[in-house]
Amino acid sequence: MKRYPLAGTPATSAQYVDVSRLLAAYADLAPDMTQAAQRVAFGTSGHRGVSFDRSFNEQHVAAISQAIVAYRTQQGIDGPLFIGFDSHALSLPAFETALEVLAANGVTTMIATGDEFTPTPAVSLAILNYNRGRTSGLADGIVVTPSHNPPDSGGFKYNAANGGPADSGITKWIETEANRLIEGDLAGVRRLPIAQARAASTTQSFDYLSMYVNDLASVIDFDVIRGAGVRMGVDPLGGAGVHYWSRIQEQYRIDLDVVSTVVDPTFSFMTLDWDEKIRMDPSSRFAMQRLIAMKDRYDVAFACDTDHDRHGIVAPSVGLLPSNHYLAVAIDYLYRNRPNWRADAAVGKTLVSSSMIDRVAARLGRRLHEVPVGFKYFVDGLYTGSLAFGGEESAGASFARFDGGCWTTDKDGISLALLSGEMTARMGKDPGALYQDLTTELGNPVSSRVDAPATPDQKKKLSKLSAAQVSSDQLAGEKIEAVLDRAPGDNEAIGGIKVIVPSGWFAARPSGTEDIYKIYAESFQGDAHLKQLLAEAQVIVDTALA
């Protein structure tokens, strides 16, 4: 990945978003529906955009909310809708727009007590807990978040009755209906003034924080953490879980230091990411300089992104663990230390996650379920229990309860962070040292990812790359074993390609959330082979984009 000169340095006023201007743009600017980039478009995790660019504005949110109401009516979903929002500047106004529409349409809407920020996994858990044992009157939800994206971003995600991100069929229907409503000047959108919406009988207060924290003991062994006296530090990064951590510490009496509770919509406390942007990505060594500085102060330290669905782990042995390293360690640890999990529960991974996970799964005797990028592809498996773990290379994962039952069907950064403390306590080694043990037994891969700007048209071309466009039978000096444009786990299109050789692979795909494309590569032969993989992959991508 290219590193810009200021990557990893503290953000300055030059990078701060002008919050007043941003909020004014949200309310005042309207999309030009002849421009593809300004239309409602659900990527791998909801609709995202920037108000300055007319891609995330009040009209988008009102139309999407009305489209969700229409979808609920069509599907007979008439239970409550659980809604939460994170600490991005655009999230509160977008939440209020949504509430105006939901209240006007008579939808029972569960909002956080005291307008508390709500992590993505808390919304998923609330839906699942409510629907457990029900066959009618089912609940669903909305999470207002652009995840780890920069401070000027907004995001809006629909979670279905299974608690997870809605699948492509649902989001395409909502997207189409929302765009139709905008093109009709919102004539079909019903709204109430926000004061009336908040006072409506259908708007009800819900304590997400207590529900989530009370239930955490069904997935994390706090007794072993407390008994071992593991010293942990957490940086909430001013995100949606900022007030959850102190409650976890108090309720479970663990040694957990919350290093900051500052909430700042400019996120001025961050260090700049690889491209000199402020981005709350807990897996980025550039963005996580503050967390990395905690390496020697704790037995393990961690952070979560703005909606707390992603995790970043810092261990004294290695510093910030690459997300693939931690996923491999977490899978190895969990399947060995959860005796009540189903014997046939598979390991879920995305196509661009490390092949170390394949080797770990094989050693465990567990089936590997490999899917395209997007957590929505794990939802059904986690919900039914056919998957006990589902994880993405971008540091998002969820895993089953101790009894093998479903925990969340959306990513949960909080539980994955706390798991690092549990495994440190039980194994007597931090996750970095545990990963080194894995490499001794299973090989030591090296990996890299290239991110480059891409226009919507270029992204579309790349997403249509097919196996037929790879004519060679050799890659980086090895015979090609497979060229995939569909995932082996579910036969879903991957929106790009993956090329596999005996000691490595590369994958190329457009981002579903940003105007960039990504080339991932991994080699078990070393850096020289990795560079060769990337170089030959780049030729294939350049040809596709020409």
Parse the chain into domains and list their residue ranges: 17-206, 212-439, 446-545
Per-residue confidence band for 467, with pLDDT thresholds at 50, 70 and 90? confident
Average pLDDT over residues 499-526: 90
CATH topology of domain 17-206: Alpha-D-Glucose-1,6-Bisphosphate; Chain A, domain 3 (3.40.120)
Is the predicted pLDDT of residue 107 greater than 80, yes or no? yes
Q: How far apart are CA 59 and CA 10, in angstroms?
A: 35
Q: How far apart are CA 52 and CA 410, in angstroms?
A: 29
Is 3.40.120.10 the CATH number for 212-439?
yes
Q: Is 471 a catalytic residue?
A: no
> Hey, is 412 helix, strand or coil?
coil
Per-residue confidence band for 513, with pLDDT thresholds at 50, 70 and 90? low
**Segment 458-463 long-range contacts (CB within 8 Å, at least 24 positions apart):** 458/510, 458/517, 458/545, 459/510, 459/511, 459/515, 459/517, 460/510, 461/544, 461/545, 462/496, 462/508, 462/509, 462/510, 462/517, 462/541, 462/544, 462/545, 463/495, 463/496, 463/509, 463/510
Is the predicted pLDDT of residue 544 greater than 80, yes or no? no
Quick check: 522 and 446 in contact, CB under 8 A?
A: yes
pLDDT at 389: 98
Q: Please pick, among 55, 87, 147, 503, the residue that the annotation labels catalytic.
A: 147
Is the predicted pLDDT of residue 464 greater than 80, yes or no? yes
Percent of all residues in the chain with a pLDDT value above 70, rounded to a whole number: 99
Handedness of CA 48, 312, 142, 85 (dihedral sign): negative
Looking only at the bridges linking them, the beta strands covering 42-43 and 46-50 are antiparallel
Q: How far apart are CA 95 and CA 101, in angstroms?
A: 10
pLDDT at 26: 98
Domains 17-206 and 212-439 fall in the same CATH topology: yes
- Stated as kind and residue range, the H or E segment containing 155 is strand 153-159
Is the predicted pLDDT of residue 1 greater than 60, yes or no? no
Percent of all residues in the chain with a pLDDT value above 90, rounded to a whole number: 89
Per-residue confidence band for 460, with pLDDT thresholds at 50, 70 and 90? confident
pLDDT at 52: 98
Is the predicted pLDDT of residue 61 greater than 70, yes or no? yes
pLDDT in tens, 478-496: 999 999 999 999 999 998 8
pLDDT at 345: 98
Q: How far apart are CA 58 and CA 98, in angstroms?
A: 9
Quick check: 521 and 534 in contact, CB under 8 A?
A: yes
List C-alpha distances in Å: 366 to 220, 336, 389.
Answer: 22, 11, 11
User: Which position has the higher pLDDT, 228 or 509?
Assistant: 228
Single-letter amino acid, residue 116: E
Is 1.20.58.220 the CATH number for 446-545?
no
Average pLDDT, the chain: 96
Q: Which tokens belong to 413?
A: 């950064």
pLDDT in tens, 308-341: 999 999 999 999 999 999 999 999 999 999 999 9
Is the predicted pLDDT of residue 34 greater than 70, yes or no? yes
pLDDT at 2: 65
pLDDT in tens, 199-224: 999 999 999 999 999 999 999 999 99
Average pLDDT over residues 114-118: 98
| DSSP percent split of the chain into helix, strand, coil, nearest 5 | 40, 20, 40
pLDDT at 43: 83
Q: How far apart are CA 349 and CA 336, in angstroms?
A: 18
Q: How far apart are CA 257 and CA 501, in angstroms?
A: 45
Average pLDDT over residues 509-532: 89
Of 121-130, 164-173, 217-226, 532-541, the one with minimum mean pLDDT is: 532-541
Contacts of 437 (CB under 8 A, 6+ apart): 429
Q: What is the DSSP letter of 272?
A: P
Q: Which tokens belong to 251?
A: 């309720």
Quick check: 118 and 91 in contact, CB under 8 A?
A: no
Per-residue confidence band for 9, with pLDDT thresholds at 50, 70 and 90? very high
Is the predicted pLDDT of residue 169 greater than 80, yes or no? yes
Single-letter amino acid, residue 73: T
Looking only at the bridges linking them, the beta strands covering 153-159 and 46-50 are antiparallel
